[in-house]
Chain A
Amino acid sequence: MTWRIQGASGAWEAVMGLEVHAQILTVSKLFSSAACAFGAEANAQVNLLDAALPGTLPVCNDHAVTQAVRTALALSATVHETSVFERKNYFYADLPLGYQISQYQQPLATEGELEVEGEDGTRRIGIERLHMEQDAGKSVHDMHDSASFVDLNRAGVPLMEIVSCPDLRGPKEAASYLRRLRALLRTLGTCDGNMNEGSLRCDINLSVRRVGDTELGTRTETKNVNSVRFVVQAIEREAARQVAVLEEGGVIVQETRLFDPNKGESRSMRSKEEAHDYRYFPDPDLLPLVLRAEWIEQQRASLPELPQARARRFEETFGLAPSAAWLLSEEPDNAEYFEALICGGRDPVRCANWLVTNLFSALNESGIEIADSPVSPDELGVLLDLVEQDKLSGRQAKEVFEEMWQGGKSATEIVKARGLEQISDADTLRAAVELALNDNPEQVEDFLSGRNEKVAGWFVGQVMKATGGKANPQLANRLVQEALAKRKS
């Protein structure tokens, strides 16, 4: 259902675009040889260029370019054979050069798209452009009461800016866009997607208009929205704020707003009038970036299977439900786990359901990544095989899994130790059924006379009780029906 904001005077719709800054996964910075690992001591990863010493010159990191090109290709964008690095000029203490090297008029790639799942079902969201740029350093204002400090570790770190078209219409859609983009980047290995480390940052452009209007309203840009949850929150708040302003007869000011994750609110940072004139011009220290068409094609041909294609394959080849297929494709590690689990010929649908319902909730609860799961695909496979062979019931399997999760023991060991193995041997169970029938002639009579045919279920319960819950319930049911039917004749 299309997302609407219900105002006092009627329904409104929101028009949104996301600008995502993704840190390119590389060893060194975009134009210098300094490292860009996360978490280093302040100013430990700074070379002469990063500190903008006189006479130093930028040299482009080829690997960063390759990474950005692969990302653009995965987004079905057109990668341009010639793109140009420009200087975006502004003064700030954490911008040593006094300009950021970015791409402006001739970006690396344009016209891509990404399929999302949101309020309006499956839709394709356009991607206007993908370009490369340097990150700035970090100013620290709270370490001293009269001095500020600057950490240049991030200065010059390579980023991809991925700008969507204003195609998004709802918070779910926006959340899906961000989630799927992140999955894509992680699958490509071009960005680690760690939003809490700042590797992936998101700004939201949003305007509202009355349902049916075709003209766009004035937009605001909300910066620093750094989790999927905050994206939903920021959109809901900002859309509601704009509707309230407009309904009260006010106007939306074109401005940049800063999202505060602690309060879940945004506040105005600067208006259009205060906006910088960045005086972009081509960086004379760098030649235009020229890529050979055949090289671009080589990159395209060597792309890995992307999450959406994988989800489609899981649906089509294995018959998974779309939601399960996506959950297992989203993260490369999920897919790897799933494919390892089914590789012994196990039923993909059952395996998928088990992962989605049991393994993922266990991972969520303990807050660990699937790659660090204490239960490996092989170990889980043994457990699922026991279920498949009717040696364990579903409920028993869950109990065994919980113990496996604590670590150390295999499924077979736990089953043995707990004496849990399900009784699926027909002769053993038939004996238990006969015993139950013989012990309860009254109930047998109720069944035979037709007074109460539901009593069959009661007998299954008796068999379960007699076997300490180990009887295979389906088999027990069948044998009870058979035994009663025999007495009837």
Chain B
Amino acid sequence: MTTAPAPPPDRRSRRERRCDHPDHGVERDGLDPRGRSRRRLLVGAGAAGLALGTGLGGVRVSFAAQPSGGTLVVVFLRGGMDGLSALVPAGDPHLAAARPDIAVPQSAALPLDRTWGLHPALSSLHELWRQGRFTAVPAVSTPDISRSHFQAQDYLERGGSATGASSGWLNRALEAAGPGTPLQALTVGKSTARSLVGARATTSLRALDALTLRIGDDARRERAVRALEALHAGVDHPLAADAAAALESLGAARLAAALAPEPGADYPDDDPGPQLRDVARLVKADVGLRVACVDVGGWDTHVGQGGVDGGTMADRLGALDRALGAFVADLGPAGDAVTVVVMTEFGRRVAQNANRGTDHGHGAAVLLVGGGLAGGRVHGAWHGLAPDVLDDGDVPGWNDYRDLLAELVTTRLGVPAGALGDVFPGHRPQPLGVTA
């Protein structure tokens, strides 16, 4: 399709744009005194935006102000990331024995402590480790998780098994954290992450730069925005919330469009580089973003996953590493309030298969990046890779995902301890101590 001219970018400085705001002295999460986010006023270059707060029946929008708490970014590696290649128990002789072709040798691993090293492709994370902005937890799982991709992802995204909860754990965490703005939770991807599905309306977008309503004439675009809102007014259907979120996102995209990455923030083109770049822009644009979900596919390395010299695993880890490093550099001091958790549905078998890959396993490695972390050590329980320790050839789930995630939503989203039972029903979380 050909493209109509995009509306001109707002070339004013961020400070100047804030003067659009009736209460520009207040910087509280981008909310005005009624709690409406600033971008709401910028959709359709002002006048049309004023209409947006009205008339959208059925949309769960809360206008109450909220305490500042920061942003939790959940990067989900789809397919089962091989934790033993990322967070490497480098000195464990059982690793080399089980993986003669693909183990990361101790000599090549970037050292963390006496037990652990990182895949050499994770050099940015190694630097962040030195700064106290990276840590990790090995052998993470949750009871009953299976080796089915769907089932394992579904359990995790609903908040662990045996809960009986159908909504996503992040959606429940948002409910427990209190009111928020329409853009408080976002999936940077083609559709909403399962963990964000539930009663609280959330949305997704693929790329901020693609988010433009392509109507060349300004006045006509403003009329169209008003009409789109009115066409969904009083409609008791999720489509109404979808339209509201789309209009909100258009405003956020306008704000974010002018924000270039900071010098030194060199995002890779591969996932999750573009997605984390957009998350950083939304954090910097101050649109009230509390939770962002990013999916990265391609971790189901049954065949030819490669070792330290290259291959699928090294490529994927390298892109992940560069993206996370750029994200931290891009946010600068604002990153103190942003924590990234990198999770996956399961780890992979300890032993390599005959295709120089690994099959579905169990305990996974979780990587944590950003502010608010208790750095300097790898957290959680670990008992090595001796065959009698393993669970049917897999790393067991020594550490429970729910303990880790509960700690993060408590510190990062301000979920009260008493509400954790709503987020993770049937589980009494015991913090692993990953947050400072």
A binds B: no
Residues of chain B touching chain A, judged by Cβ–Cβ distance below 8 Å, are none
